[in-house]
Each structure stands twice: as C-alpha cells, then as structure tokens.
Structure 1
Amino acid sequence: MSAPNNSYDPVEVTPLHPDEVARMREEALAAIAGAADLAGLKEVRLAHAGDRAPLALANREIGALPPAARADAGKRVGGARRDVAEALKTRQAELEEERDARVLVEESVDVTLPWGRAPRGARHPLTTIAERMADIFVGMGFEIAEGPEVEAEWFNFDALNFLPDHPARTMQDTFFVEGPDGADSGLVLRTHTSPVQVRSLLDREPPVYVVVPGRTFRTDELDATHSPVFHQLEGLVVDEGITLAHLRGAIDAFVTRMFGEGLKTRFRPSYFPFTEPSAEVDMECFVCRGASVGNPDASCRTCGSEGWIEIGGCGVVNPRVLTAAGVDTERYSGWAFGIGVERTLMFAHGVRDMHDMVEGDVRFTSAFGMEI
C-alpha cells in the first residue's frame, strides 16, 4: 500500500500558481477598464467571466488538489473572480450612465419648434359637394337610394324607354362589359344614375321620394369640361297628384340652398326618353345675376355674359317607365331630375378644368379642407 502524497505542492499546477492567478486577474481588470461601450463590455464579460474564461478554468483545477491544498487555492482564485465581477458591475454602471447622458444630447427634441409639418389631409371636394347636394333634398323629405355601377342593359336602357337603335347604346357613349369568350354579357357601366329610378320603384311602393348620388361612365375624352367618369345627383318623385309645379318648387329650393337667395330658374324644352315632357334647367348666374348680358364693360366668366347657367335636366316621368316598374299610371305620376356634381362644383367654386378634379393633386383638394 502506497503512502499518502503529503509532498504534493499545489503551486506546481500552473493555472493555480499565485503569479498566474494575479496575471489573469490583472488582464481581466485591464480589459474591463478598456471597454469603450456596453457592446464591448459584453465581449469582455464573456472572455473573462464566462464559463470558458481563464479564471473559470483555473477554478475547475481546484477539485484535483489534495484536501489540504484546496482551501488556499480556492481563496486565491475566488478572490480574483470577485474582483473581476465587481469591476464588471462598476464599469457596467459607468457605461450605462455615459449612454444615457449621450442619448439626452443626441436624441433631444426641441419642443418649442413649430409642429404639424406633415400636411393635413382633405376630403375630395366632389365627395363633399355631392353630400351637400343630397342633404338639401334629404331636408325636403327625400331618402338616399343607391344602385350598382355595373348595370344590366334592361335597367340602363330598356326600362327607361331607350329604343334598341337609340344612339346612346352605341360604343360612342357606352362602355359595354364583355362576357366569357367575347359573348354579350348584357351588362354595361351605367351611363347615368337613372337606372336607380326603376330599381327604387321596384323596391318600394309609391309614394316614392328618393335622391341618388352616384358615379357614371361614358366614352368621353378627358378634357377641360368632360370626363369618362363623372358624378350625377338623380332625383325621383312618384306620388298621386304630382305636377311640374312641384318639380319647379324643388329645383328652386335647391338653387336657393346651394347658390344663394333670390336666384331665378327657368325651364327650356328638351328631350329625354324617360321623361315627357322634358326640360333643361337653367338658373340665373349667381355672380353677375344677369347684369353682364349685353354689357361689354361688365363681362362675366361664370356664365359667359349670358346671364344663365345650365345645371341639369328634368321632366315628368314617362308613363312607359312607370309601367316597366309595375306602377299604376292611372293613379300615380311623377317627375325626375339629374344634376351634374362636377358642373355644380365648377360653378360654386370657380373650377375651370376637369383635370384638377381627377388627377389627384393634393394641392387642389387641400384648398377645400375637411368640411364634413
């Protein structure tokens, strides 16, 4: 049996030698002091205080020592590791304080500077004025009605007394929707809001008082006064004892509310397949009120010195339209009108070019603000 290893000297284990432990400690402290930022300190922590750090590896060697030698080696290595941990904690606090001070300077915000540099949005004036126009008739007791923009030909033409050879059915006026394999789908992009007249009469029992704001489509070229996509406000009344006098009164009330007090209106004979008799509606120029007529010294750009402005078409609902919708023409009569929203906007606000309404320039819409 061999004798105890009483002559074993722990200093012969190189990682546990006092000079080596001191060297590892000083190297770690120097690295900690040299860390310039928190990211650099994190790397130092991994290198000198992590599981694979020199002092951590030296600590593992203690278990191989005889019991009598372990206490002294443990104190030596443990003291060095505590010094490194304390240095890391102190340097962490210093670097965090430096970072916070730097952020206060670099990311400071001057709250005295003007705010709101991002421009405010604005509703499109066509939306605003269409709602204003509809609200005027809602105030008279009308209700809002809507219909599809892709419409059946029967609603768009046949039910409104457009004969099969009517020019409006040709490609010069109408966008036709192509069916599968180029077949006739029987659908069009509605050319006016008048199909909603028939839909309203089919959905409701008279009396009917509806107003229809909506978008319509025709094969027009975009220029200063025309657009292939435009908006109309359609009105329809069907009730017992309805006459043109009621229509004239509603138009007069609309003109007064929209353009001002005291403006006259007039009807000029016209033709629409879905009304009989039919008329074009003119109102007195709200700018010159007729004073520019025959007066070269006081010309008016709004009405072209004619004294009158055309605002839409109207008439008594054709009995054929009522019959198509299943309405008793012996008992009920009605009238309808259509007013261009773009035209109203141009008159009310002096807009001269249709391009301004459709090109999406925020400088145009922002001038009208956020009126609700």
Structure 2
Amino acid sequence: MSSYMEDITQQIAAYKTEIAAFRPSGEAALEAFRVRFLGSKGILKELFAGMKTVAPEQRKDFGLVLNELKQLAEEQYHNGREQLQDRPGESGGREADHTLPAEPQRLGARHPISLVRSRIISIFEKIGFSIAEGPEIEDDWHNFSALNMPENHPARDMQDTFYVAKAPDWVLRTHTSSVQVRVMEQGKLPIRIICPGRVFRNETISARAHCFFHQVEGLYIDENVSFADLKQTLYYFVQEMFGEESRVRFRPSYFPFTEPSAEMDISCLICGGKGCSVCKQTGWVEILGCGMVHPRLLENCGIDSRRYTGFAFGMGIERITMLKYQIRDLRLFSENDVRFLKQFEGAV
C-alpha cells in the first residue's frame, strides 16, 4: 500500500470516530457538522475528489470505504435532527401544551345521490321489497329482447346505446330492467324487488341530461296483482319521500314492457303547484314511469302469464334528488366540486 493510502486510511478512521461520537448541543452545532462533513466543500467532497489519485486496482476498495463513511455521516446527521426535534425548548421542537384545543378532524359527507338512494331503498324495504343487483355490461337479450324489444323494434330508438361489442351485441345497460329479467328467469315466485344501479345512455350532457345516471326500478309479481296495487305503492312512496301534502297524478303513456303504462307526476315542490320554470308553468313534475308487466315479458322469462300478473316502475335518482334538494343542474352531481358537496354534511 502506498504512503498516501496509509495516511488517508488513518484519517478516515479518525473521521469515523469523530462522527460516531458526535452529539448535537443545538441547531448551530448540527449545522456545523453538516457543513464539515456533508457540505459542498466538506470533507467527503474532498475525499471523493481524491479518488483520481488512487491506483486503479485500489479504487474499488477505496470507494467502498468512502461510501461507508458517507452513510455514517448522513445517519448521524438525521439522528441528531430527530434528537433536537424531540428535545423541549430547542428550535424545531416544542413542549406539549395540553391546554391547546385539539386539531380539528374533518369529516366527509355522503354524496346527495347516495343519500337519496338509501332513502328510496329504506322506504320500499318497509313494505317488503328486497334489493337486486346485476352487471352494468349486458347482452342484447337481457337489455332489449326479453323486454319485448326485439331487433328493429322502434322502442330501441328511444334509448341511445353505448355498444361494447357487436354480433352478438353487448352494451352498457340502458336501464336496470335487465336485473328484473335476470330475477324473473330464476323462477322463484312471488317477486318483490327494487333494482338500484348506474345506467348509461349516449346523450348530450346538459343541465337536464347526462351520459350516465342512476335508476331505481321496482317489480312485483304474484297472483292477482292489479293496477290498484301499483297506485297505492307509489302513493305511499311519494308521501314518504316528499311529504303527505304532495299530490300525485297518472297520465297514460307507452312502454314496450308494460301494458297498460303510465307516467306519474307529483305537484311541483318549488312553486307548490302554482307554476314555475321548473314545472314549465304546469304545477306538475314527472318523476317516474310505471305500468302492469306485459304478458309477453312474463312468458319470455318462463312465467305463466295466465296465473301471474305484476307491476313495474322506474325512476331516475338524479331527478328525485333534484326535486328534494331543489338542484337545477344535473352536472353538479358528477363534477366533484367540494363547495357543492359540503352543503350535504348535515344530511349524513
């Protein structure tokens, strides 16, 4: 070993001893330690610069020694920093003041869609409805054909569909009626279910429409089920959701999977039925569609339509939420604006 290497090895050993014995007395001493060993003009910087004077066959061993020294210095510096932070009265540390108020623990809030969804489920659970769920990607049979909408049926044009694949067709479901079909195919009667979930339609996004939204559809199938049962069920829902003073009316309509079919309106909650821009000066707001299950749909699912009858209904959760909380823009539900969501903290 050369004379230079002997000298530098002894010097490094001395540096190791100095570093291992270092205990900071304060911030100034710790900073002086950092500058001395780890600074841009410090000892380690000079030692690494001297690598070029070391014989090539010794550079690998010498580099390992220097890296070990550097790690020791960095570790000692970080230990010193932690000691000062934990030491009362030192800069960077502080004594615990138990008289100070606790740090506020901010709680989130449930989304308004989730609030209304849970409320709808709770209302129908009280009268014996259970929850059924299904896939958001559906085949043509469950989304269209089984619901009395065969290929080229004009009712398909009422729903602008996102197709995932063609021939055979797979789509993002346009309604949760597909869940009703899957339950009916199981053949376990009677059936009394609600089907909440997200659905998708290729629509232009605006204050009143979006490419995805949430639905709750209901289905009741048993012997001797009538339209009167449907009306009383929905009367009960409206009074529980919007209050006993809410008025209800039914208007004849058309759906391929129900016959007869109807749209159900409630008196406008914003103007009290007097007429405003929300209800288009009519005093009424549509909230859902409904009707008696079409006999062909029952037969498609293997249910004897001469013995069993049933009713179905479907509503958009966003529509119910907008009415309940008097929200005028559908896009607010999916923009994740904290200022909007904070308004529902008290509703948790």
The TM-score, its normalising length taken from structure 2, stands at 0.72
> Whole-Å Cα distance in 1 between the matches of residues 159 and 119 of structure 2?
32
Question: How many pairs does the alignment contain?
Answer: 281
> Whole-Å Cα distance in 1 between the matches of residues 334 and 311 of structure 2?
32
Greater C-alpha Rg: 1
> Whole-Å Cα distance in 1 between the matches of residues 24 and 320 of structure 2?
76
Task: Call closer, same or farther: CA 1:38–1:279 in 2, change over 3 Å.
Answer: same
> Whole-Å Cα distance in 1 between the matches of residues 107 and 120 of structure 2?
25
> Whole-Å Cα distance in 2 between the matches of residues 141 and 260 of structure 1?
21
Structure 1 segment 190-229 matched on structure 2, within 5 A: 190-229=173-212
8 Å CA contact retained: 1:123, 1:369: yes
CA shift, 1:102, in A, is 3.3
8 Å CA contact retained: 2:86, 2:93: no
> Whole-Å Cα distance in 2 between the matches of residues 213 and 185 of structure 1?
26
CA shift, 1:307, in A, is 1.6
User: Given residue 204 of structure 2, which amino acid in structure 1 is its aligned partner?
Assistant: E
Residue of structure 1 equivalent to 2:296: 320
8 Å CA contact retained: 1:121, 1:370: no
CA shift, 1:167, in A, is 4.4
User: Given residue 232 of structure 1, which amino acid in structure 2 is its aligned partner?
Assistant: Q
> Whole-Å Cα distance in 2 between the matches of residues 205 and 35 of structure 1?
79
Task: Call closer, same or farther: CA 1:170–1:109 in 2, change over 3 Å.
Answer: farther
Residue of structure 2 equivalent to 1:331: 307
> Whole-Å Cα distance in 2 between the matches of residues 102 and 336 of structure 1?
72
> Whole-Å Cα distance in 2 between the matches of residues 318 and 33 of structure 1?
86
CA shift, 1:215, in A, is 0.5
Counterpart check, 1:142 vs 2:125? no
State which of 311, 316, 320 in structure 2 corresponds to 1:340. 316
Secondary structure of the 1:235 match is strand
Counterpart check, 1:274 vs 2:294? no
Task: Call closer, same or farther: CA 1:125–1:365 in 2, change over 3 Å.
Answer: same
CA shift, 1:211, in A, is 0.6
The TM-score, its normalising length taken from structure 1, stands at 0.68
CA shift, 1:266, in A, is 1.2
For residues 215-269 of structure 1, give each alpha carbon's deviation from its aligned partner in whole angstroms, at most 9, with x where no partner exists: 1000011110000000111000001110100000000000000000132211101
User: Given residue 161 of structure 1, which amino acid in structure 2 is its aligned partner?
Assistant: N
Task: Call closer, same or farther: CA 1:331–1:103 in 2, change over 3 Å.
Answer: farther
Residue of structure 2 equivalent to 1:354: 330
Secondary structure of the 1:344 match is helix
8 Å CA contact retained: 1:171, 1:219: no
Task: Call closer, same or farther: CA 1:100–1:138 in 2, change over 3 Å.
Answer: same
Structure 1 unaligned regions, length at least 5: 1-27, 42-95, 294-299
CA shift, 1:367, in A, is 1.1
CA shift, 1:143, in A, is 0.5
Secondary structure of the 2:89 match is helix
Counterpart check, 1:230 vs 2:213? yes
Between 106-115 and 241-250, report the one with greater CA deviation. Answer: 106-115
State which of 139, 144, 159 in structure 2 corresponds to 1:152. 139
8 Å CA contact retained: 2:85, 2:91: no
For residues 302-333 of structure 1, give each alpha carbon's deviation from its aligned partner in whole angstroms, at most 9, with x where no partner exists: 43431211001000000011001100111000
8 Å CA contact retained: 1:266, 1:282: yes
8 Å CA contact retained: 1:282, 1:311: yes
Secondary structure of the 2:189 match is coil
Secondary structure of the 1:184 match is coil
Between 328-337 and 356-365, report the one with greater CA deviation. Answer: 356-365
Counterpart check, 1:126 vs 2:113? yes
Task: Call closer, same or farther: CA 1:39–1:331 in 2, change over 3 Å.
Answer: same
Task: Call closer, same or farther: CA 1:38–1:136 in 2, change over 3 Å.
Answer: same
Task: Call closer, same or farther: CA 1:102–1:209 in 2, change over 3 Å.
Answer: same
8 Å CA contact retained: 1:144, 1:211: yes
State which of 284, 304, 329 in structure 1 corresponds to 2:267. 284
CA shift, 1:160, in A, is 0.1
Between 317-326 and 119-128, report the one with greater CA deviation. Answer: 119-128
Task: Call closer, same or farther: CA 1:307–1:39 in 2, change over 3 Å.
Answer: closer
User: Given residue 138 of structure 2, which amino acid in structure 1 is its aligned partner?
Assistant: E
> Whole-Å Cα distance in 2 between the matches of residues 99 and 216 of structure 1?
55
8 Å CA contact retained: 2:155, 2:256: no
> Whole-Å Cα distance in 1 between the matches of residues 321 and 150 of structure 2?
33
8 Å CA contact retained: 2:85, 2:92: no
> Whole-Å Cα distance in 2 between the matches of residues 143 and 166 of structure 1?
32
Task: Call closer, same or farther: CA 1:345–1:116 in 2, change over 3 Å.
Answer: farther
Structure 1 segment 4-43 matched on structure 2, within 5 A: 37=29
8 Å CA contact retained: 2:84, 2:93: no
Between 203-212 and 265-274, report the one with greater CA deviation. Answer: 203-212
Secondary structure of the 1:225 match is coil
